[in-house]
């Protein structure tokens, strides 16, 4: 089971919007609506931002949204804030013996 593919880095200015892509296959992202997204600041544990493609946990800002088209999922952050600067990882359920797979990770820089 190969890692999902994410861009290594993205950047955006304060107040702008950015989108991070997460490309899998027809066996994982393309088959199941079970993509989640995590934010990780340096030295900290990951934090769930989106689950089941589009759902936001309680307490997560509505500036974060998720979507999916075919085998590619996306995380969009609108109204960028300085505290959004972090690493972001996608994750998908696979239904195989390796039940979950993470993406390669994307470093977001807020300019």
Partner 1 sequence: EVQLAESGGGLVQPGGSRRLSCAASEFILSSYAMNWVRQAPGKGLEWVSVVSASGVGVYYADSVRGRFIVSRDSSRNTLYLEMNSLRDEDTAIYYCARRGSGRGFDLWGQGTPVIVST
Binding site residues, partner 1, CB under 8 A: 1, 3, 34, 36, 38, 40, 45-48, 50-52, 55, 57, 87, 89, 91, 93, 97-105
In whole angstroms, how close is the CB of 97 to partner 1 at the nearest point? 6
Number of neighbours of residue 32 by Cβ within 10 angstroms: 16
> Which residue lies nearer to partner 1 by CB, 12 or 105?
105
> Which residue lies nearer to partner 1 by CB, 16 or 55?
55
SS3 state at 70: coil
> Which residue lies nearer to partner 1 by CB, 43 or 82?
43
- Give the span between the Cα atoms of 20 and 41, in whole angstroms: 16
């Amino acid at each position: 089971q190969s890692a999902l593919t994410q861009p290594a880095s993205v950047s955006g200015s304060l107040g702008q919007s950015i989108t991070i892509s997460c490309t899998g296959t027809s066996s994982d992202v393309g088959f199941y609506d079970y993509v989640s997204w995590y934010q990780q600041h340096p030295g900290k544990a990951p934090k769930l931002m989106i689950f089941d493609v589009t759902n936001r946990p309680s307490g997560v800002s509505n500036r974060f949204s998720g979507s999916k088209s075919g085998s590619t999922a996306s995380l969009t952050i609108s109204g960028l804030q300085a505290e959004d600067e972090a690493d972001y990882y996608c994750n998908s359920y696979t239904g195989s013996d390796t039940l979950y797979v993470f993406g390669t990770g994307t470093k977001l820089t807020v300019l």
